[in-house]
Structures are given as structure tokens and as C-alpha cells.
Amino acid sequence: MTNTLHPTTSTELLLVPGLMCDAAVWEPVLSALSVHAHCHIVDHGMADDLGLMAEQLLATAPPTFALAGHSMGGRVALEVMRRAPQRVTHLALLDTGYKAKAAGAQGEEEARKRQALLDVARTQGVRAMAQVWVQGMVAPQRLADRALIDSIVAMLARKSAEVFANQIQALLERPDTQDVLAQLRIPTLVACGAQDSWSPPVQHEEIAALIPARPQVKTIPHAGHMATMEQPQASAQLLIDWLSPSHAGAPAQ
């Protein structure tokens, strides 16, 4: 795990990247967050199972911690909650999902699309795959932002095709987490980019509806799936508010 600046608070915050992402997905919000928490960025290594990713996280995590997961990282965070709910003080689920792979034709189509991207990564290189994949990962108006697009492509290209294959396997074999969501009793943030086409706001409404406290779904304007990189100031503020004592003590919404 990567540590940032030491804050004045003792709060420990674990930040979990998603599919083919690394510390760069959290880097834009770290400066703001580091004032409020001691941040650790998780690395999944070569793990090919979401449960294994969760177990790896728990093996090196502080005794208690706040936990924020982006995309696949949100699913890993829910597997942490399945295994060690007593260790997590706050949970943030960003641009993520909660269901297992669909049965039948729908699930087969998901597997086909993921395999097509993997084939590109293996035959043309991960960077070539990333240049295709990124087209649907940001708000449409940000596709012309070369600095943003280049940073996302560079992040994905730092991973190998083998890592991609392992993480795709983990996602295709993902468990349903409705039972975990139904057991949540801690301050929980559910948020996504308003223009996230991979994990849209309606999917986050479904997640929130399964949580007993019924948290509001926060949408980040002018952002797609990579909200922390597209709109870091707005993303950081949501996370800061989520960590604040006033949030923890607020009545359920």
C-alpha cells in the first residue's frame, strides 16, 4: 500500500482501485483527503479473485479503517465487508456494481465483450486496448481533453495483459453482494459520475435501496466512470463530507 502525507487526524483510509487502475485513479484527490485521513492505496497484484483481493487487503490493513472502492474496487470493498465488517468504520462505493454476472445471453455477451478487449491487449498491446476502452470511460465532453485521456491510457498501460486477464476472471466470477449491502450499519457513501455509462446512477440507486440507512446517491456533474480523475475537487469533497463526524452522526436519509 502507498502512504500519503500524514494528516493531523488518526483516521486510516484505504483507497481501492478498480479494473486495471493503480494509484493514479486516486492521485487527484489525495492532496485534499490527506488533510483528513492517513491514506493507503491498495495494489491487487496478480490476484484473479475478488475474495483474494479482499483478503490481501485485510492482511496488511490497520486494525480499523475507512474504506473507499472505485469500480471493481467497490466490489472488493464489499468482499472486505463480507469478511471483516467489524474492522471498517466507513464505506464509500464509487462508480461500481453489486450483482453477479447475469445468467444466459446477457452474461455471455458481457464475457464476449471483455474477451474482445483482452484479445486486443494480447495481440496489439495494453495501450492499444486502453485507447479503445477509454472512449466509454469518461463523460463525452471530456474525450477532447488530451491530458485526461493520456493519463488514463498511461495508467492502464502500466498493467500487463496477464493482469487484465486475471482481473477479468475475477469480475466474471464475482459474487452477488445484495446480502452484504443489507447488513451495512456504518456511514456509507454511494456516488458516481452523472454520465457514467458503465455504472450509471440508476445502478447506484439500486445499491442505496439495499442499504438499511437508505443513503442518498451523490452524482458528480460532468463526470463519467473515472470521476475521481475527471472531477477531483467534487469527488474529494464528497469523500471529505463522508468522513466527517457530522456525516457519521446524521440521521438516515
Q: Per-residue confidence at 245, pLDDT binned at 50, 70, 90?
A: confident
Q: Per-residue confidence at 116, pLDDT binned at 50, 70, 90?
A: very high
pLDDT (mean) for 21-31: 98
Give the containing element (helix H, strand E) for 110. helix 104-124
**What is the pLDDT, as a whole number, of residue 113?**
96
DSSP E strands, 178-239: 188-193, 217-220
Average pLDDT, the chain: 94
Q: Is the pTM of this model over 0.85?
A: yes
Domains of the chain: 2-102+175-248 (3.40.50.1820), 104-169 (no CATH)
